[in-house]
């Protein structure tokens, strides 16, 4: 919607887009919100949203302060020997959560998810589109197995870094990789390692 008065500066436009995006993702979910609608709510041209952020996914990441970009994580999981996918996933989650700033941002997300239904819905759709669908396609793994593997690494992060239950909270990363990687590999491969 066009507004009267002077044209807003870049910083102001960017801020207005982020505020509009948070509102719209909350009301419509990730799937229901469009760049066009976000632009309209912010009173700017859709081209400006693309110019600042690129895709809807990137608008979401900026608006919700998502600490990592899933698009950049997927290749780190997919690239490399198939029989080491489990290892790469466990190493990646430990590395991402080890960073205190990332951890704080994830905690803020977890708080909003346990407090607001709207936050749950938009985050769920985002996780499905940006992470699970891409991985399921790239690895050719049934979704149920992939989401259960996700449950394992999310629970691992929660117990190690948030609740801090010992000895998982203080264990060596290598010991955790050794213990958990075969489980993720089992979910991905659909069977136990032959040994």
> Which residues lie near a copy of itself (CB under 8 A)?
107, 110-111, 113-115, 120, 123-124, 127-128, 132, 143-145, 147-148, 150-156, 158-160, 162-168, 171, 175-176, 179-180, 182-183, 186-187, 192-193, 195
Residue 56: CB atoms within 10 Å: 20
Shortest separation between residue 108's beta carbon and a copy of itself, angstroms: 8
- Quick check: 139 and 85 in contact, CB under 8 A? yes
d(CA 120, CA 116): 6
- Nearest to a copy of itself of 80, 155 (CB atom): 155
Provide the token pair at 32.
């229901």
36 vs 124, beta carbon nearer a copy of itself: 124
How far is it between the farthest Cα atoms of the chain?
73
53 or 126: whose CB is closer to a copy of itself?
A: 126
The residue with tokens 């960017």 is 14
- The SS3 call for residue 43 is coil
CB of 68 vs a copy of itself, minimal distance in Å: 17
CB of 20 to a copy of itself, least distance (A): 25
- The CA distances from residue 171 to 13, 24, 110, 179, in Å, are 46, 42, 24, 11
**What's the min distance (Å) between Cβ of 72 and a copy of itself?**
21
- Residue 98 or residue 124: which is nearer to a copy of itself going by CB? 124
DSSP labels for 86-126?
HHHHHHHHHHHHHSHHHHHHHHHHHHHHHH-HHHHHHHHHH
* Coil, helix or strand at residue 84: helix
Q: Which of 47, 108 has the CB closer to a copy of itself?
A: 108
CB of 168 to a copy of itself, least distance (A): 4
């Amino acid at each position: 919607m066009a507004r009267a008065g002077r044209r807003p500066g870049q910083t102001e436009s960017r801020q207005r887009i982020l505020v509009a995006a948070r509102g719209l993702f909350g009301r419509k979910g990730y799937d229901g919100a469009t760049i066009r609608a976000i632009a309209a709510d912010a009173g700017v041209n859709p081209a400006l949203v693309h110019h600042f952020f690129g895709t809807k996914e990137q608008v979401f990441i900026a608006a919700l302060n998502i600490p990592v970009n899933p698009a950049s994580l997927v290749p780190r999981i997919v690239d490399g020997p198939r029989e080491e996918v489990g290892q790469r996933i466990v190493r990646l989650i430990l590395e991402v959560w080890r960073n205190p700033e990332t951890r704080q941002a994830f905690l803020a997300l977890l708080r909003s998810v346990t407090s607001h239904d709207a936050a749950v819905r938009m985050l769920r759709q985002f996780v499905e589109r940006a992470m699970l669908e891409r991985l399921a396609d790239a690895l050719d793994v049934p979704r149920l197995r992939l989401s259960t593997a996700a449950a394992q690494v999310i629970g691992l992060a929660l117990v190690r870094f948030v609740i801090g239950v010992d000895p998982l909270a203080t264990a060596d990363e290598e010991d955790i990789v050794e213990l958990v990687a075969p489980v993720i590999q089992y979910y991905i491969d659909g069977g136990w390692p032959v040994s």
